[in-house]
Amino acid sequence: MFRLDPEGHIRNAVLLASPNEHAEHVLLVTCELIPALNSEPHALVFYGGFDAREVMDDTTREAGFLGFIYPATDAETLKATIGTVDWLRPAP
């Protein structure tokens, strides 16, 4: 997918959505090259809840979320710790 930004540049993009059948929103993520960062430590962290606020605030209930961290220095350990985020649609 592509997105035309306000300056008229075409950007690669992807739409992400909750697999919940009642989801009402999607997240559009675009990508672009930027100059290399300096040698100072840097990280990008993103997380967000997909369930209603009352579900997310109740620690006794199961809830869905999206989480992202970069750089992941040991991806296999991270995967073993938090599990996979792959979702497969159930067969009809």
Output the pLDDT for position 85: 58
* Predicted model pTM: 0.38
pLDDT tens digits for 28-52?
888 777 777 666 666 777 767 677 8
Say whether both 46 and 66 belong to one domain: yes
CA distances from 40 to 4, 44, 54, 58 (A): 32, 13, 39, 38
Q: Give the chain's domain count.
A: 2
Say whether both 72 and 49 belong to one domain: yes
42 domain residue, yes or no: yes
Range of the domain at 50: 35-86
92 domain residue, yes or no: no
- The answer to whether 37 and 48 have CB atoms below 8 angstroms apart is no
CA gap 91, 23 in Å, rounded: 20
Output the pLDDT for position 89: 64
